[in-house]
Each structure stands twice: as C-alpha cells, then as structure tokens.
Chain A
Amino acid sequence: MRLFENADYALIPNRHIGYVISGTLLTIGVISLLVKGLALGIDFRGGMEFVVGNTTDINTVEIRSALTETLEDEPEVKRFGDTGHLIRISTTKDITTMENRLLSTLQQQFPDHDVGIEKTDVVGPRFAEDLKRGAIYAVLGALLVIFLYIMVRFEWRYSLGAVAALVHDVTITLGLFSVLAGLVPFSLQIDQSIIAAFLTIVGYSLNDTVVVFDRVREYVNLFKTEPFDEVVNRSINATLSRTVVTSVTTLIVVSILFFFGGEVLRGFSFALIIGVIIGTYSSVFVASPTIVELNRRLEKSAA
C-alpha cells in the first residue's frame, strides 16, 4: 500500500490557508485562556480528591448537593469510569475528618449502594507549590534544551521555525483544554501527567519538524538553482508519506490509550491525541512556512 507517493501538493504556495486556520485556533485558544483560564488540578493547587465506587446510577448533582453541607464547601463531582464518581475539594482541613464525613454522608444518603472509597489524592499547599515549580522548570528546561540542540544541529532560522511550531502546538492544546473543560465528560484539569503529556507533544512535534527540516537541508544542496520556497515544498512532499504513516501509528496507540487505558489516563491521552494531530499539522503548516518567511525577509534585506 502506498499513500502520498510522488506527492506534489502546492503546500507552501497555499500556506496562507494554514495561517488562517492556525490564527483562528490560536485566537480562540488565547481568548479562552484569558477569559476562562485553565483549571489547575490538586497537584498544583493543593486539595483533596476522592474516587468513590459503586455509585453507578446516582446523579452527579445528587452527590454534589448531598455533600455540600457536610463538607462546608461545594465539591466538584464528576463521573469516574463506569461505576464511580470523582469528588474534589480544595480544602486544607484534616484528611481523616473530611474522608469520614464524605463517606458517612454518602452511605446515609444512598443506603442501597455499597459506597466505598477507591482512591484518594491529597496534596498539601507546600507540596503543590513544589510540584508547580518543578513543572515550570521542566517546561522551560525542555524548551531551552530543544532550542539549543536545534541551534547546534541546524541554522538559527530552523531553530526559530521549530520553536514557533512548538509554541503554536502547546498554546493550541492548552487553549483546547480551556475551551473544552466542563464540556467533555472527563476531567481536563492541568496536573503532573498533563505536563508530561505536553512535553511528549513537544517531543513529538519536534520529531516531525526535524524530519522535514533534515530533508530541506539535504535538498538545498541538491537543488541549488531552485528558489527556497520550492525546495521546502518539495521536501514536505517527499516526507509526506512518512509524516502520515507515523502520525497514523501514533494516533492508533494514543486513541487506544484514550478508549481502553482507563479513567486515570483519560486526560493524559486526550492531550496526546490533540497534540499528535496539531504537531503533525504544524510541522507542515507552521514550522516550514516560518523558515520560508524568514528566508524572504533575509533576501529582501540583502537586496
């Protein structure tokens, strides 16, 4: 089977379509980030999270209203898998007290269900502060190392192109997390595993971009007479088959994680699905056009 063999699409000449798509997604994302913001998980905010089991046919609203009084705070309640609910409170009170109150209230209110606690996560404010700091260092560190590596291996133009694509990908994915939070039936709060997913997206997107750039580097020497635009377009087309195949295999596995990996991994694999799609798109429609545009500026100022 062969896909995109001898592909010859006018991608670079039509890059403006990409600009419109990216621009729209970025605008929506940034506006949502500014207005609605991101929901931080208890990893970075501190608080408690409980997963209760055997609550299959109880409504989330019922649980919330049952708990609001005893917990002295309106908890967030979400479905968790097929049989349970996730209850989240942002309190720093004693764990055992809160846990006992929560469990006894639920057992009293819903006596015909054998409600039990399946999972607890408690993060103190100081620990949350540390995790947040660690996450920020990790993201900044990753971006810096990648930028430096590309600088060493490629010219600075390519570096800028790659980093532009990364910023584009992470901003859009974050934006989607902000837009979709509350609209999808699973938790999209930013926690440690989402940060890990973002860094994986960064790695993946870069992987894609590097393959295209590697080809550009090769073709620039091979087709010296051709204008740079066309060399880039030719490179994208030459690697298109590989880009698509790798995206397909990666999408297969992350979709499997999303559907079969269980409730714990849902937010994480959701981020990866979006990231793989956006990352593939951006290496063609963001990273490559960036080096083309940069090259134009350069030529113009030289002339």
Chain B
Amino acid sequence: MQGNGFKIGLTIFFVGLCGFYLFPSVQNLYVNYKMSNMEEAERVEYQEENRQRLNNLERNSLSLGLDLQGGMHVTLEVEVANLLDQLAVNQDEAFQDALQTARQRAEQEDVSVVEAFVEEFEAANPDGRLSRYFRNEAQGQGQGQSQEITRRSSNSEVQEYLQAQAESAVQNGIEVVRNRVNQYGVTEPSIQQQGSERIVVELPGVNERKRVRDLLESASQLSFHLMANPQQLQESVQRIIDYYEPTAEDSARIAEANAADTADTSAGPADTSGTAEGTQLAASEQEAPNDEGATALTEPGEGETGPQNPLLAAMQPMPRQDQPVFGRVFASDTAKVNELISKREVKKMLPPGIELMWTANSRFTTEDGREALQLLAVQAEPELAGEVVTQASVQFDRQTNEPKVSITMNSEGAREWDRITAANVGNNVSIVLDNLVYSNATIQTRISGGRTEITGLDSRQEAQDIVTVLQSGRLSTDLNIISERTVGPSLGEASTRAGFISVISGFLLVVLFMIMYYRTAGVVADIALLLNVILILGILAGFGATLTLPGIAGIVLTIGMAVDANVLIFDRVREEQATGKTLRAAINAGYEESLSAILDANITTFFVGVILYSFGVGPIKGFAVTLMAGILSSLFTAIIVTRIVFDYMVEERRMSVSYG
C-alpha cells in the first residue's frame, strides 16, 4: 500500500481539479432550479440583484451547444475574389481570366483565392507582372499602408500583399459582424474566424432566421454623410416624443421641460480654436462634466408616476441647437428604442432624407459603469464613398500635443470633398460604416487639396479607432452565408432530454450488468465508471468545450466502452485464479498481463479521435473531444483507481474479493 501514495495523491488531485471546474456548472444548475420555482416578479428582482454573479456563473459553466439550447450557427465567407477585383487597377483580359479561373478553382479545390489567382496568372502569363494591377506607391507615402507595391515589386511580394489585404478584410468582416450582432442584442454570441476566409457566428437562443440572414449578409461600405440640420431635427424629436405621449397633460409637462432644457444648453461644439489652414474638422464631443446633457443622464423614467412615455423611458433626449443628436440611450435599452423608432409613422416625422444611426462605440459611461450610446440624425444618402481615402494616420498637434486624425484622399475624392466642404461650412459630417457612426465632426472650413484633419478628439485611442475604421473599411467586405444550421428551442429541449435519459439509462444498465457479471469486482469497476463520467465532464468544463448532442453520444458510448479495460483485467484475473494463484498474485498478474492489450486498443481509438477532431466540423468536433477525454479518463480510472481500491481491500483489509 505504501507505493500507492502517489497514485492516491494523483487521483485526489484530478478529482479535485474536475470538481473545481465543475463547481460553477453545478451552482448554475441549482440557481436556475431555484429561479424556476420563483414568482415572475421575484425572479426579475433576483436577477437584477445578482446580475454580476449570475453572469459569472453562466460564463464558467459547461456550456450547452446550439443543438441543445437552440439557436443559429452560421458560416460566412468573405468574397476574396471581389476584393481582388476592387483592389486592382488597369484590369485587362489576362487579369479577368485569371480571376475567373481562380474563383472556380477555389470552389472545387483546397486552395485560397489569392493563391489560385497568382498561380493562374503566372501559368497564363509567364512573364507577366502582377504589380501593374496592384501598384499603390503613387497614392500614399506607404505610411499606414500594410505594404507598398511598386512597379518593380515581384509577384510573390504582390501575393503577400494580397494575402494581407484578404486577412484584413476578414478581420474587418469580423468587426462588422460583431457590431451587427451587438445591435441585434444576443446574449453570449460567439464570432470566430475559421480558416483564412470564413467567419463562424453562433447565436444561442436566436430563431429569427430571416432577420439574422439579412443582418449578416448585407454588404458594408464606409462612407461620408452629411447630417441633419439640428434645428429641424429638434422639431422632429418633439413631434416623435409627442407621438408616444400617453396623455395630453403629460405631454405638455414634458414639452415644457424640454423647452427649458433647450434654452439652457447653448454651449458651442468642442474645440474650435487653433484651426489650421483649411484642413480642419472638429470632432463633435459634448462630454464636459458640467454639460447639461451629460449630467442629466440618469436612469430614465425613474421616479415617474402615472403613465410613462415609452420613448422617454428608454431614451434621454439631447436637445441642442448645434448638434444633430436625437438622444442618448443606455446600451441595454437600444433594442427597445430601435423598436420605437422603426415605426413607419415615426420615420415620417424625421426631416426628409434623414435616418437615425447609432454611434459605434459607447462614448459615455455613467458613474455606475453602464454604457450609453448616442442616436444621431444622418442623411441617408452618402456624399462620398470610403474608397477615396488613400491614407489615414494618427498624428499629434505640434503645440497642444493633442491627438488628431489625418486623412488623405485621392484626386477625385479631393475634388468632391472640396465641393462638399465649401457648401457646408459649419455643418456636421459623419464617417459611417455599416449604418454605425464612427466619428462625427463639424466642418470648420472649406478643405481643398485632399488633406483633412479631425481634431478635438479625446484620446489617442479614439483617434486610433477612427484610423482603423478608415483603413479597413475602405473596401467593401461582401459576406456570404455558405452554411446555416438552426435548431428551434423545443427540438433542442427534446434533444437535451433524450441525451440525459440516454446517459442515465446507459449508465445504470452497464452498472447492473457489471455487478451481475463480476460481483464485488463489478462494484469497483462501477465506482471507476462513475468517476470516469465526472472526469469527462470536468475535462470538458476545464477546456471550455461545449456539450453537444454528438458529445453526449460520445459520453454514452464511452460508458459502454470504458468498462472494457476492466473487463480485460478482470477476465485475466479469473484466468490467473484458475491456474491456482492466490488472489493477490492473480490481481497482480491480471493488471500486468492485460496492460499491453489495453494500451494498444486505446491508443488506436485515441488516434481516431484526434483525426476526427482535426477534420471534423462543428458537432463532430464535440464528439471527438468527448471520445478522447473518455479514453484518457477511462484509462486512468480503470487502471489506477480500481487498483487502489483492490489493493486497499486485499492488502489492508484482507478481504476476499469476488471476481464473479
């Protein structure tokens, strides 16, 4: 028994580790059970009070796959071929042919579009230089550009450049998808890159297939938009608030309050001083701490009595004479406001050609850490497409050392920009990507020559964010759904139940069979089996894997196959006993002699698991993971744990163990 100290220690360590990882899951189950027994009101209150803790529990628990909890699993692909088409200038027939063939090849073979394109082009034009299509040295100074392609760049340099562009398009796609999903308001969405051109989006609990498809597939393009006239906008805001007003008296009260507000806030836009010669836009930030609008941002609707205006309950209007701001909304309330402002009657009340758009990042955080977004009134028609931007970078003001964004446009864009800024000095302009406003600023002066600066920014980070959007959003990223799997909530529930019943009944039947067949030794094998299931779940929780239906099938299968190692050992012990050995000698021989067969048999199955994992997609990976986890833990429990028990029974307690 002395030599078993290490084994016992190891067992306790593993079991403890699994217990540690499984603890949140068990707690979560308990909390959910408790909440399901509460009254509706009580539950809401409980959730409010323990929001932080509940979120933590949820995050650390063993998560269920979409096939069990219901939801959508969408695989998107970035159209790299279209990207090449957009990037290339001076396109000729050779280019079009190579791109066309590459497109087809990428569909049938395991090759990326960029690789196939370069290969095809080189095969068709042995002396051709790709650099003639992708030169970019004339446009910018190379700064901020990922790579510079000159007339003399080799084809492999161009290939590298194209790959980098494709990579950034995928990154941009992920960013776009994340923003869209956040706007949609899903709890715990997962957005991941798969391979070089694909994005996998998992939306638990979502069943509105059409809406999600439209949301994910629509093309995104960076553009510059003029914004609504603030005075005109204020009239619209008032009309819309009135529209939602429940009673006449309440309406009057709110109108009065708003009128007072409007009169109070007459402060101009942020930083207009130090205007440089003809390049200036000032970012429109109203974040001064003593700003009326900012300090007024409390929990809306708090302390109100009587019928509430649903819009004012979710949104804080921001009446300002000079800014096209519709209102401020807590991030958690955006879905509510979206619903209210998407009504057709309400849209009609906005000034003609104006659309409401959210700011991309929460610029305001209230004292208790809640994020708030602004709703801005933007002209729906873009003035200028983002592709005119050739370069964008963060710079610092020489005197004040404040961060600013410097933008360079191509000659065509510069001409348009000159015209637009000349006609709109004092008006607002916004940088929009995918219906989200990333930056809005006031045009300070007519900007000729194509070099623009955005000043009055808060932080280097803000400047950097704008630059990132300008750089990555120049090119439109087309996303296509190439696979979609959705499971409705009731089917998911049925699958969970079926999986649970299978695990329990499979376990019980195998346990009974083992006891019937091997008596005392069977009981020991059953203890090992129970431990085995706990270890598998612990391994899954520890590695943050999700439990899918095929994963549960893997566990059930493991329950049946895991006893094999013990069957091998026990049968060997019986054989050894039959040759006349003592119990102790028979046990020793049984474990020793069967080890090679157990290892050989399990290693091969483990290899199968590894291969399934590397080539499988989605749910199959879940099966492979549980299969591998099952093999590892069953080897451990069947060889080490049962041995400890037998040693204890035979050597310490001098018991006689029946092998049936």
Contacts and interface: CB of A to CB of B under 8 A. Distances in A.
Contacts of B593: 218
B560 A253 contact: yes
Interface in A58-117: 81, 95-96, 99-100, 116-117
B510 A53 contact: no
Consensus secondary structure, chain A interface: helix
Interface in B215-269: none
Q: How large is the interface on A (under 10, 10 to 19, 20 to 34, 35 or more residues)?
A: 35 or more
A250 B483 CA distance: 34
A121 interface: yes
A125 interface: yes
Given A53-B490, A211-B568, A260-B498, A253 B608 contact: no
A150 B607 CA distance: 12
Interface stretch (B319-327, B369-377, B617-625): B617-625
Contacts of B88: none
A286 B488 CA distance: 45
A262 B494 contact: yes
Nearest to B517: A1
Nearest to A246: B564
A117 to B, nearest CB: 7
Contact of A206 (B556, B604, B620): B604
A278 interface: no
Contact of B608 (A51, A131, A199, A261): A199
B513 A249 contact: yes
Contacts of A249: 510, 513-514, 560-561, 563-564, 567
Interface in B496-539: 498-499, 501-502, 505-506, 509-510, 513-514, 516-517
A127 B607 contact: no
Contact of B615 (A1, A134, A261): A134
B556 A210 contact: no
Given A241-B571, A265-B553, A119 B487 contact: yes
Contacts of A129: 107-108
Contacts of A262: 494-495, 498-499, 549
Interface residues of B, number: 75
Interface in A1-33: 1-3, 5-6
Contacts of B596: 214
B627 A200 contact: yes
A145 B502 contact: no
A95 B488 contact: no
A272 B601 contact: no
Residue of A123, A211, A268 ringed by the most chain B CB atoms within 10 A: A211
A37 interface: no
B484 A119 contact: no
Contacts of B481: 95, 122, 124
Given A146-B604, A268-B553, A256 B509 contact: yes
Contact of A145 (B490, B607, B615): B607
Given A196-B550, A211-B597, A135 B615 contact: yes
Interface string B610-632: 01101111111001100100000
A248 interface: yes
Interface stretch (A136-144, A174-182, A223-231, A288-296): A136-144
B483 A122 contact: yes
Contacts of A236: none
B651 to A, nearest CB: 26
A150 B561 CA distance: 20
A268 B560 contact: no
B341 to A, nearest CB: 25
Contact of B600 (A1, A204, A210): A210
Given A196-B612, A211-B597, A261 B553 contact: yes
A265 B506 CA distance: 15
A193 interface: yes
Interface in A248-288: 248-254, 256-257, 260-262, 264-265, 268-269, 272
Given A81-B494, A196-B624, A207-B564, 16 more contacts: A99-B210, A138-B612, A142-B611, A153-B600, A196-B623, A199-B612, A200-B608, A203-B604, A204-B605, A248-B513, A249-B513, A250-B560, A253-B557, A254-B556, A262-B499, A265-B549
Shortest 8 CB-CB contacts between residues of A and residues of B:
A253-B560, A262-B498, A203-B605, A138-B615, A214-B597, A124-B482, A250-B560, A207-B601
Interface of A: 1-3, 5-6, 51, 53, 81, 95-96, 99-100, 116-127, 129-131, 133-135, 137-138, 141-142, 145-146, 149-150, 153, 192-193, 195-196, 199-200, 202-204, 206-208, 210-211, 214-215, 218, 238-239, 241-242, 245-246, 248-254, 256-257, 260-262, 264-265, 268-269, 272
19 contacts: A1-B517, A53-B488, A95-B484, A96-B210, A100-B210, A121-B485, A123-B482, A124-B480, A134-B616, A134-B617, A142-B607, A149-B603, A203-B605, A207-B604, A214-B600, A241-B574, A252-B509, A253-B559, A261-B499
